[in-house]
Chain A
Amino acid sequence: QQQVKQSPQSLIVQKGGISIINCAYENTAFDYFPWYQQFPGKGPALLIAIRPDVSEKKEGRFTISFNKSAKQFSLHIMDSQPGDSATYFCAASHTGKSTFGDGTTLTVKP
């Protein structure tokens, strides 16, 4: 049973466009929802995270939207740049232990 479902698997966006990646979870005990960015051959880097008591969090060009009732959350990357090309993972955590989505490979075309 996959606890965190992520879509799309891959995404191609033009430079300056908006990249949107979606995740859905099943376990209502999850209480922390981070997004990670991973470049090839590197470890994941924490990008932005949200707790379920807020519906949106914005940090620079990155925004998380969170819908508790639907058990869904999404990452929006505004003004996408070629340097944003990477794999993005959503995760859901409970007691500090994370379950990851399958990842989205983002390609931003110049």
Chain B
Amino acid sequence: GAVVSQHPSWVICKSGTSVKIECRSLDFQATTMFWYRQFPKKSLMLMATSNEGSKATYEQGVEKDKFLINHASLTLSTLTVTSAHPEDSSFYICSVRTGSYEQYFGPGTRLTVT
């Protein structure tokens, strides 16, 4: 499988500020990464598909101007939550797709907006 890291593991920010979360594929050249959001004791909700060198594909209902995704290299995708508000507080998880089917997840980033 692929080893995936995320940074930071947790972050607290003030309402109205922006925060960037990095997702790195440490041992696999990832053309496709996914970003998920997970609320406490809930399932994973796919936010967007991050494609290296092209624009991300967002799921219905996800604001692309609020959740900016940049996949500038085969090992790095970033998610920027712009003008964060308390309702954006969540657990954000990225994953790397290694073939046609398999996904390997990062350890997640806990975002708290105060």
Chain A residues within CB distance 8 Å of chain B: 31-32, 34, 36, 41-46, 49, 51, 89, 93, 96-103, 105
Contacts and interface: CB of A to CB of B under 8 A. Distances in A.
Contacts of A46: 1, 102-105
Given A34-B102, A46-B1, 5 more contacts: A42-B108, A45-B105, A46-B102, A103-B42, A103-B43
Interface in B8-39: 32, 34
Nearest to A95: B100
Instruction: Name the residue in B49, B93, B103, B104 with the highest tally of chain A Cβ atoms < 10 Å from its Cβ.
Output: B103
A100 B43 contact: yes
A51 B102 CA distance: 11
- Majority secondary structure, B binding face: strand
B62 interface: no
B71 interface: no
Interface in B61-105: 93, 95, 97, 100-105
Given A101-B43, A102-B42, A96 B101 contact: yes
B63 to A, nearest CB: 19
Contacts of A32: 100-101
B101 A43 contact: no
